[in-house]
Structure 1
Amino acid sequence: MSLVRVHNFSVSLDGFGTGEGQSRDAPFGHAGERLHEWMFATRWWHETIGRPGGTGGLDDALARRFAPDIGAEIMGAGKFGPPGWHEDPEWKGWWGPDPPFRTPVFVLTHHRRPPIGMRGGTTFHFLDAPPAEALGTAREAAGGRDVRVGGGPTVVRDFLAAGLVDRMHVVVVPILLGRGVRLWDGLEGLERDHEVETVSSPSGVTHVTFTRAGP
Protein backbone atom coordinates (compact mmCIF):
# COMPACT_ATOMS: atom_id res chain seq x y z
CA MET A 1 0.00 0.00 0.00
CA SER A 2 1.15 3.55 -0.64
CA LEU A 3 2.77 5.47 2.20
CA VAL A 4 1.53 8.58 3.98
CA ARG A 5 4.35 11.12 4.27
CA VAL A 6 5.01 14.52 5.81
CA HIS A 7 7.93 16.56 4.47
CA ASN A 8 9.74 19.80 5.30
CA PHE A 9 7.37 20.60 8.17
CA SER A 10 8.98 23.32 10.28
CA VAL A 11 8.32 23.93 13.98
CA SER A 12 9.80 26.35 16.49
CA LEU A 13 11.69 25.23 19.59
CA ASP A 14 8.45 25.58 21.53
CA GLY A 15 6.58 23.42 19.02
CA PHE A 16 4.59 25.92 16.98
CA GLY A 17 4.03 25.08 13.31
CA THR A 18 2.55 28.48 12.52
CA GLY A 19 2.26 31.82 14.27
CA GLU A 20 -0.72 33.76 15.50
CA GLY A 21 -2.65 36.22 13.33
CA GLN A 22 -2.74 34.55 9.94
CA SER A 23 -3.94 36.87 7.18
CA ARG A 24 -3.72 37.29 3.42
CA ASP A 25 -0.51 39.27 3.90
CA ALA A 26 0.89 36.97 6.60
CA PRO A 27 0.32 33.27 5.76
CA PHE A 28 2.17 32.20 8.92
CA GLY A 29 0.99 35.01 11.15
CA HIS A 30 3.54 36.72 13.37
CA ALA A 31 6.09 33.97 12.55
CA GLY A 32 6.57 35.52 9.12
CA GLU A 33 9.12 33.56 7.09
CA ARG A 34 11.30 32.63 10.07
CA LEU A 35 10.14 29.00 10.19
CA HIS A 36 11.11 28.44 6.57
CA GLU A 37 14.23 30.51 5.98
CA TRP A 38 16.29 27.28 5.99
CA MET A 39 14.23 25.97 3.06
CA PHE A 40 14.10 29.22 1.12
CA ALA A 41 17.92 29.22 1.11
CA THR A 42 18.23 25.83 -0.62
CA ARG A 43 19.03 25.21 -4.24
CA TRP A 44 15.88 23.06 -4.44
CA TRP A 45 13.66 25.98 -3.49
CA HIS A 46 15.40 28.30 -5.95
CA GLU A 47 14.80 25.74 -8.69
CA THR A 48 11.16 25.42 -7.63
CA ILE A 49 10.53 29.14 -8.03
CA GLY A 50 12.68 29.46 -11.14
CA ARG A 51 15.54 31.49 -9.69
CA PRO A 52 19.28 30.77 -9.87
CA GLY A 53 21.35 30.19 -6.78
CA GLY A 54 20.66 28.54 -3.48
CA THR A 55 22.71 26.34 -1.19
CA GLY A 56 23.42 22.63 -1.37
CA GLY A 57 24.26 20.34 1.51
CA LEU A 58 22.04 18.61 4.05
CA ASP A 59 19.10 21.03 3.99
CA ASP A 60 18.91 20.86 0.21
CA ALA A 61 19.16 17.07 0.10
CA LEU A 62 16.34 16.57 2.61
CA ALA A 63 14.11 19.27 1.11
CA ARG A 64 14.29 17.46 -2.24
CA ARG A 65 12.43 14.47 -0.80
CA PHE A 66 9.25 16.57 -0.94
CA ALA A 67 8.04 15.49 -4.38
CA PRO A 68 9.37 12.07 -5.54
CA ASP A 69 6.71 9.33 -5.64
CA ILE A 70 3.93 11.63 -4.37
CA GLY A 71 0.61 11.16 -6.14
CA ALA A 72 -1.67 13.42 -4.05
CA GLU A 73 -1.58 15.90 -1.18
CA ILE A 74 -3.95 16.52 1.73
CA MET A 75 -3.94 19.95 3.37
CA GLY A 76 -6.04 21.90 5.82
CA ALA A 77 -8.14 24.95 5.11
CA GLY A 78 -5.59 27.20 6.82
CA LYS A 79 -2.85 26.11 4.45
CA PHE A 80 -5.03 26.81 1.42
CA GLY A 81 -5.95 30.33 2.47
CA PRO A 82 -6.41 32.91 5.23
CA PRO A 83 -9.51 33.07 7.43
CA GLY A 84 -12.53 33.83 5.26
CA TRP A 85 -11.04 32.58 1.97
CA HIS A 86 -14.21 30.59 1.32
CA GLU A 87 -16.12 33.87 0.97
CA ASP A 88 -13.95 34.89 -2.01
CA PRO A 89 -14.91 32.90 -5.14
CA GLU A 90 -11.71 34.08 -6.84
CA TRP A 91 -9.34 32.72 -4.16
CA LYS A 92 -7.22 29.87 -5.57
CA GLY A 93 -4.55 29.51 -2.92
CA TRP A 94 -1.33 31.31 -2.05
CA TRP A 95 0.75 29.94 -4.93
CA GLY A 96 -0.40 31.76 -8.07
CA PRO A 97 -1.50 30.07 -11.31
CA ASP A 98 1.16 27.31 -11.19
CA PRO A 99 1.25 25.79 -7.66
CA PRO A 100 4.20 23.55 -6.76
CA PHE A 101 2.16 20.41 -6.02
CA ARG A 102 1.64 18.99 -9.56
CA THR A 103 -0.89 16.46 -8.25
CA PRO A 104 -4.47 16.37 -6.98
CA VAL A 105 -4.68 18.30 -3.69
CA PHE A 106 -7.47 17.64 -1.20
CA VAL A 107 -8.32 20.60 1.02
CA LEU A 108 -10.11 19.63 4.24
CA THR A 109 -12.77 22.25 4.86
CA HIS A 110 -16.40 22.62 5.93
CA HIS A 111 -16.85 24.98 2.97
CA ARG A 112 -17.21 22.85 -0.14
CA ARG A 113 -16.74 24.23 -3.64
CA PRO A 114 -16.16 22.77 -7.12
CA PRO A 115 -12.63 21.58 -7.97
CA ILE A 116 -10.16 24.19 -9.23
CA GLY A 117 -7.78 23.13 -12.00
CA MET A 118 -4.43 24.95 -12.10
CA ARG A 119 -1.42 24.91 -14.39
CA GLY A 120 1.19 22.19 -13.98
CA GLY A 121 -1.20 19.39 -13.01
CA THR A 122 -2.47 20.70 -9.67
CA THR A 123 -6.22 20.38 -9.06
CA PHE A 124 -7.66 21.51 -5.74
CA HIS A 125 -10.55 19.40 -4.43
CA PHE A 126 -12.52 20.38 -1.32
CA LEU A 127 -13.55 17.72 1.19
CA ASP A 128 -15.45 17.73 4.45
CA ALA A 129 -14.21 14.41 5.78
CA PRO A 130 -12.31 12.89 8.75
CA PRO A 131 -8.67 11.83 8.23
CA ALA A 132 -9.24 8.18 7.31
CA GLU A 133 -11.95 8.99 4.79
CA ALA A 134 -9.90 11.80 3.25
CA LEU A 135 -6.92 9.48 2.99
CA GLY A 136 -8.98 6.87 1.15
CA THR A 137 -10.05 9.48 -1.39
CA ALA A 138 -6.50 10.77 -1.82
CA ARG A 139 -5.08 7.26 -2.20
CA GLU A 140 -7.53 6.52 -4.97
CA ALA A 141 -6.46 9.69 -6.79
CA ALA A 142 -2.76 8.97 -6.19
CA GLY A 143 -2.90 5.83 -8.32
CA GLY A 144 -0.60 3.73 -6.16
CA ARG A 145 1.87 6.48 -5.33
CA ASP A 146 2.32 7.99 -1.88
CA VAL A 147 0.12 10.63 -0.25
CA ARG A 148 1.67 13.69 1.36
CA VAL A 149 0.01 15.38 4.34
CA GLY A 150 1.09 18.96 3.82
CA GLY A 151 -0.18 20.81 6.89
CA GLY A 152 -0.95 22.94 8.69
CA PRO A 153 -0.11 21.69 12.17
CA THR A 154 -3.70 20.80 13.10
CA VAL A 155 -4.09 18.50 10.10
CA VAL A 156 -0.71 16.85 10.64
CA ARG A 157 -1.55 16.35 14.32
CA ASP A 158 -4.93 14.81 13.45
CA PHE A 159 -3.33 12.32 11.05
CA LEU A 160 -0.64 11.43 13.59
CA ALA A 161 -3.25 10.93 16.32
CA ALA A 162 -5.17 8.61 13.99
CA GLY A 163 -2.03 6.54 13.36
CA LEU A 164 -2.08 7.26 9.64
CA VAL A 165 1.40 8.75 9.04
CA ASP A 166 4.15 6.36 7.94
CA ARG A 167 7.06 8.79 7.58
CA MET A 168 7.44 12.34 8.86
CA HIS A 169 10.22 14.88 8.39
CA VAL A 170 10.07 17.70 10.94
CA VAL A 171 12.54 20.58 10.95
CA VAL A 172 13.12 22.19 14.35
CA VAL A 173 14.05 25.84 13.86
CA PRO A 174 15.92 27.59 16.72
CA ILE A 175 13.36 30.32 17.36
CA LEU A 176 10.71 30.80 20.05
CA LEU A 177 7.29 31.90 18.82
CA GLY A 178 5.35 31.81 22.07
CA ARG A 179 1.96 31.64 20.36
CA GLY A 180 0.27 30.17 17.35
CA VAL A 181 -0.73 26.56 16.62
CA ARG A 182 1.36 23.79 18.16
CA LEU A 183 2.08 20.49 16.46
CA TRP A 184 2.70 18.18 19.42
CA ASP A 185 -0.29 18.78 21.70
CA GLY A 186 -2.09 15.53 22.55
CA LEU A 187 0.63 13.32 20.99
CA GLU A 188 2.36 12.20 24.18
CA GLY A 189 4.36 9.02 23.62
CA LEU A 190 4.42 9.36 19.83
CA GLU A 191 8.09 8.35 19.81
CA ARG A 192 7.25 4.89 21.20
CA ASP A 193 5.57 3.89 17.94
CA HIS A 194 8.27 5.31 15.66
CA GLU A 195 11.93 5.04 14.89
CA VAL A 196 13.29 8.55 15.43
CA GLU A 197 16.46 9.93 13.87
CA THR A 198 17.91 13.43 14.25
CA VAL A 199 20.64 15.29 12.42
CA SER A 200 21.80 18.87 12.91
CA SER A 201 22.51 21.15 9.97
CA PRO A 202 25.13 23.90 9.71
CA SER A 203 22.21 26.27 9.05
CA GLY A 204 21.18 25.83 12.69
CA VAL A 205 18.07 23.69 12.18
CA THR A 206 17.65 20.09 13.30
CA HIS A 207 16.03 17.55 11.00
CA VAL A 208 13.95 14.94 12.84
CA THR A 209 12.52 11.95 10.99
CA PHE A 210 9.82 9.67 12.37
CA THR A 211 9.32 6.28 10.71
CA ARG A 212 6.40 4.24 11.96
CA ALA A 213 7.63 0.99 13.49
CA GLY A 214 6.49 -2.28 11.97
CA PRO A 215 4.28 -4.80 13.75
Structure 2
Amino acid sequence: MSQLLRVQNFTVSLDGFGAGEGQSLERPFGHADPAELMSWVFPTASWPGRTDGGGTRGLDDYFARDFHNNIGAEIMGANKFSPHRGPWENLDWQGWWGDEPPFHTPVFVMTHHLRPSFTLSDTTFHFTDDEPAAVLEAAKEAA
Protein backbone atom coordinates (compact mmCIF):
# COMPACT_ATOMS: atom_id res chain seq x y z
CA MET A 1 0.00 0.00 0.00
CA SER A 2 1.41 3.39 -0.92
CA GLN A 3 1.40 6.17 1.63
CA LEU A 4 0.72 9.79 0.93
CA LEU A 5 2.75 12.53 2.51
CA ARG A 6 1.28 15.94 3.10
CA VAL A 7 1.93 19.05 5.09
CA GLN A 8 -0.98 19.50 7.44
CA ASN A 9 -1.98 21.68 10.37
CA PHE A 10 0.28 24.58 9.51
CA THR A 11 -0.76 28.20 9.11
CA VAL A 12 1.61 30.82 7.74
CA SER A 13 1.02 34.58 7.69
CA LEU A 14 1.15 36.50 4.42
CA ASP A 15 4.66 37.62 5.33
CA GLY A 16 5.80 34.02 5.88
CA PHE A 17 5.69 33.42 9.63
CA GLY A 18 4.07 30.54 11.55
CA ALA A 19 4.86 32.10 14.94
CA GLY A 20 6.59 35.16 16.33
CA GLU A 21 9.71 35.79 18.33
CA GLY A 22 9.77 35.49 22.11
CA GLN A 23 7.78 32.28 22.54
CA SER A 24 6.98 31.57 26.22
CA LEU A 25 4.48 29.70 28.37
CA GLU A 26 2.31 32.81 28.40
CA ARG A 27 2.70 33.47 24.65
CA PRO A 28 2.86 30.19 22.68
CA PHE A 29 3.02 32.10 19.38
CA GLY A 30 5.57 34.63 20.64
CA HIS A 31 4.79 38.22 19.66
CA ALA A 32 2.42 37.01 16.90
CA ASP A 33 -1.30 37.19 17.64
CA PRO A 34 -2.74 33.66 17.18
CA ALA A 35 -6.23 35.07 16.61
CA GLU A 36 -4.89 37.09 13.69
CA LEU A 37 -2.83 34.19 12.35
CA MET A 38 -5.81 31.81 12.48
CA SER A 39 -8.46 34.35 11.44
CA TRP A 40 -8.99 32.53 8.14
CA VAL A 41 -10.51 29.50 9.88
CA PHE A 42 -12.90 31.12 12.38
CA PRO A 43 -15.61 32.04 9.81
CA THR A 44 -15.74 28.52 8.32
CA ALA A 45 -18.64 26.13 8.86
CA SER A 46 -16.22 23.44 10.06
CA TRP A 47 -14.44 25.46 12.76
CA PRO A 48 -14.79 23.29 15.92
CA GLY A 49 -15.62 26.35 18.05
CA ARG A 50 -18.64 27.29 15.91
CA THR A 51 -21.91 27.06 17.82
CA ASP A 52 -24.35 28.85 15.50
CA GLY A 53 -24.57 26.23 12.73
CA GLY A 54 -23.57 28.76 10.06
CA GLY A 55 -20.25 29.57 8.53
CA THR A 56 -18.66 29.82 5.14
CA ARG A 57 -18.24 26.94 2.71
CA GLY A 58 -15.28 27.14 0.39
CA LEU A 59 -11.59 26.36 0.22
CA ASP A 60 -10.90 27.50 3.80
CA ASP A 61 -13.75 25.31 5.04
CA TYR A 62 -12.35 22.37 3.08
CA PHE A 63 -9.01 22.70 4.90
CA ALA A 64 -10.73 23.16 8.28
CA ARG A 65 -13.01 20.16 7.67
CA ASP A 66 -10.13 17.89 6.62
CA PHE A 67 -7.87 19.00 9.49
CA HIS A 68 -7.47 15.45 10.85
CA ASN A 69 -8.71 13.20 8.05
CA ASN A 70 -6.30 10.52 6.89
CA ILE A 71 -3.45 11.60 9.15
CA GLY A 72 -1.56 8.56 10.44
CA ALA A 73 1.30 10.30 12.26
CA GLU A 74 2.56 13.84 12.86
CA ILE A 75 6.07 15.26 12.84
CA MET A 76 6.65 18.52 14.69
CA GLY A 77 9.55 20.62 15.82
CA ALA A 78 10.39 21.10 19.47
CA ASN A 79 9.00 24.66 19.50
CA LYS A 80 5.54 23.45 18.53
CA PHE A 81 5.64 21.09 21.51
CA SER A 82 7.15 23.42 24.10
CA PRO A 83 8.68 26.84 24.77
CA HIS A 84 11.52 25.20 26.72
CA ARG A 85 15.03 25.48 25.31
CA GLY A 86 17.87 23.16 26.17
CA PRO A 87 17.71 19.99 28.25
CA TRP A 88 14.36 19.14 29.83
CA GLU A 89 14.29 20.51 33.35
CA ASN A 90 10.71 19.46 34.02
CA LEU A 91 9.35 16.22 32.56
CA ASP A 92 5.91 17.13 33.93
CA TRP A 93 5.49 19.49 30.93
CA GLN A 94 3.45 17.53 28.39
CA GLY A 95 2.74 20.08 25.69
CA TRP A 96 0.37 22.98 25.20
CA TRP A 97 -2.76 20.86 24.76
CA GLY A 98 -3.61 19.42 28.17
CA ASP A 99 -4.83 15.86 28.71
CA GLU A 100 -6.56 15.63 25.30
CA PRO A 101 -4.09 16.59 22.54
CA PRO A 102 -5.76 17.20 19.16
CA PHE A 103 -3.57 14.81 17.17
CA HIS A 104 -5.01 11.31 17.87
CA THR A 105 -1.91 9.75 16.27
CA PRO A 106 1.72 9.07 17.09
CA VAL A 107 3.62 12.39 17.17
CA PHE A 108 7.36 12.59 16.51
CA VAL A 109 8.94 15.65 18.12
CA MET A 110 12.26 16.57 16.51
CA THR A 111 14.60 17.88 19.20
CA HIS A 112 18.24 17.95 20.25
CA HIS A 113 17.16 17.07 23.80
CA LEU A 114 15.63 13.62 24.15
CA ARG A 115 13.13 12.57 26.77
CA PRO A 116 11.04 9.42 27.26
CA SER A 117 7.96 8.91 25.10
CA PHE A 118 4.60 9.34 26.81
CA THR A 119 0.93 8.93 25.95
CA LEU A 120 -1.96 11.31 26.60
CA SER A 121 -5.36 10.00 25.57
CA ASP A 122 -4.81 8.43 22.11
CA THR A 123 -1.69 10.48 21.26
CA THR A 124 1.83 9.19 21.92
CA PHE A 125 4.68 11.70 21.78
CA HIS A 126 8.09 10.36 20.72
CA PHE A 127 11.18 12.57 21.02
CA THR A 128 13.88 12.06 18.43
CA ASP A 129 17.17 13.59 17.39
CA ASP A 130 17.34 11.57 14.16
CA GLU A 131 17.83 13.12 10.74
CA PRO A 132 14.58 14.29 9.09
CA ALA A 133 14.58 11.41 6.57
CA ALA A 134 14.80 8.85 9.39
CA VAL A 135 12.02 10.60 11.33
CA LEU A 136 9.84 10.56 8.22
CA GLU A 137 10.42 6.81 7.82
CA ALA A 138 9.56 6.21 11.49
CA ALA A 139 6.37 8.27 11.10
CA LYS A 140 5.38 6.35 7.97
CA GLU A 141 5.94 3.06 9.78
CA ALA A 142 3.88 4.23 12.76
CA ALA A 143 1.07 5.44 10.49
Report the TM-score, using the length of structure 1 for normalisation: 0.59
**Residue equivalent to 2:14:** 13
Query: Deviation per CA, 1:40-82, whole angstroms, max 9, x where unpaired?
Result: 44343326xxx62462312222222221111100000000011
**Residue equivalent to 1:4:** 5
* Distance in 1 (alpha carbons) for counterparts of 2:21 and 2:27: 10
* Distance in 2 (alpha carbons) for counterparts of 1:22 and 1:40: 23
**Residue equivalent to 2:111:** 109
**Residue equivalent to 1:211:** none
Query: Deviation per CA, 1:90-109, whole angstroms, max 9, x where unpaired?
Result: 11111110011000000001
Where 2:39 maps in the other structure, the secondary structure is helix
User: Using a 3 Å threshold, how does the CA distance of structure 1 residues 99 and 42 change in structure 2: closer, same or farther?
Assistant: farther
**Residue equivalent to 2:48:** 46
Unaligned runs of 5+ in 2: none
Is the Cα–Cα contact under 8 Å of residues 7 and 65 in structure 1 kept in the other structure? no
What's the RMSD between the two structures over aligned residues? Answer: 1.9
* Distance in 2 (alpha carbons) for counterparts of 1:8 and 1:114: 25
Higher normalized strand content (fraction of residues): 1
Higher relative contact order (CA 8 A, sep 6+): 1
Report the TM-score, using the length of structure 2 for normalisation: 0.86
What is the percentage of aligned positions where both structures have the same residue?
56
Unaligned runs of 5+ in 1: 143-215
Residue 13 (structure 1) shift: 2.1
Where 1:18 maps in the other structure, the secondary structure is coil
Within 5 Å, which residues of 2 pair with 1:84-123?
Answer: 84=85, 86-119=88-121, 121-123=122-124
Count matched residues: 138
User: Using a 3 Å threshold, how does the CA distance of structure 1 residues 107 and 92 change in structure 2: closer, same or farther?
Assistant: same
Code of the residue aligned with 1:32 in structure 2: it is D
Is the Cα–Cα contact under 8 Å of residues 45 and 57 in structure 2 kept in the other structure? no
Query: Deviation per CA, 1:137-159, whole angstroms, max 9, x where unpaired?
Result: 111100xxxxxxxxxxxxxxxxx
Code of the residue aligned with 1:76 in structure 2: it is G
* Distance in 1 (alpha carbons) for counterparts of 2:83 and 2:10: 19
